[in-house]
């Protein structure tokens, strides 16, 4: 697929760990500030009942704006709330089990770090997208793997499945990843650590710049 035939790179927001309080309002502001393809609900250390309660208003906000609502780590939570899909880390179960649980229309993504081997395995197992990173230092989570932009170009040349770039991405540094072949930029801290609407606008501007 040539660069001209590819869909332009899109934004994929990942939630902060705290999604209560005024976060639904912040999510609405972010999604209304520019085109966002997907939102990942990522919370840690709470039981599923509480996760369901927190997810409900966020899922509704995404549905109203036609933004895919993806659950991090847990296929069972994704099934319970009728999410659009699940994002699996390397320790979060396999693609085929998630597919059986969620059905063929679910979006299933897999963290592949900096590994071409893991990405090919995920693609063969039926993943809908693979995620590479971290490309830059990030405070959102501890970085064990550093990926180089050329892995995005390699993936684009060989595979049809979209690839997501993640890890420390900002409006200032995202251009190199867009040029290298990222279909989606997964961002968290760069949006939620400041004014979310301004950040989304800055990302959209940077991603569409020649």
Largest CA distance in the chain: 46
- Residue 17, CA distances (Å) to 25, 55, 179, 207 in order: 16, 12, 30, 26
Tell me if 100 is assigned to some domain: yes
Q: What is the H or E stretch that residue 164 is in?
A: strand 163-166
Split into its structural domains, the chain has a count of 1
Q: Per the domain annotation, does 182 fall within a domain?
A: yes
Q: pTM for this structure?
A: 0.95
Please write the tens of the pLDDT for every residue from 40-65. Answer: 999 999 999 999 999 999 999 999 99
Domain-embedded: residue 129: yes
Please report, for the domain that includes residue 42, its CATH number.
3.20.20.70
Q: Classify residue 190: in a domain, yes or no.
A: yes
Does 86 fall in a domain? Answer: yes
Note whether residue 82 is domain-resident: yes
- Buried b / exposed e over 159-173, threshold 16 CB at 10 Å, is eebbbbbbbbbbbee
Domain assignment of residue 202, given as a range? 10-208
Q: pLDDT per residue over 91-114, tens digit each?
A: 988 999 999 999 999 999 999 999
């Amino acid at each position: 697929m040539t660069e001209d035939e590819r869909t332009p790179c899109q934004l994929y927001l990942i939630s902060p760990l705290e999604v209560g309080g005024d976060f639904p309002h912040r999510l609405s502001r972010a999604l209304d500030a520019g085109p966002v393809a997907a939102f990942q609900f990522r919370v840690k250390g709470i039981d599923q009942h509480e996760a369901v309660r927190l997810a409900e208003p966020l899922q509704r906000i995404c549905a109203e704006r036609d933004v895919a609502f993806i659950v991090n780590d847990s296929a069972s939570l994704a099934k319970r709330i009728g999410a659009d899909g699940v994002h699996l880390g390397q320790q979060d179960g396999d693609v085929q089990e998630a597919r059986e649980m969620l059905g063929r229309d679910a979006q299933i993504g897999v963290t592949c770090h900096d590994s071409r081997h893991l990405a090919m395995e995920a693609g063969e197992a039926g993943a809908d997208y693979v995620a590479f990173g971290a490309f830059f230092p990030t405070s959102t989570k501890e970085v064990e793997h550093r990926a180089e932009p050329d892995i995005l170009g390699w993936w684009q040349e060989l595979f049809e499945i979209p690839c997501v770039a993640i890890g420390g991405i900002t409006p200032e540094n995202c251009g190199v990843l867009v040029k290298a072949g990222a279909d989606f930029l997964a961002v968290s801290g760069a949006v939620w650590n400041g004014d979310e609407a301004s950040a989304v606008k800055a990302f959209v501007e940077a991603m569409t710049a020649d």
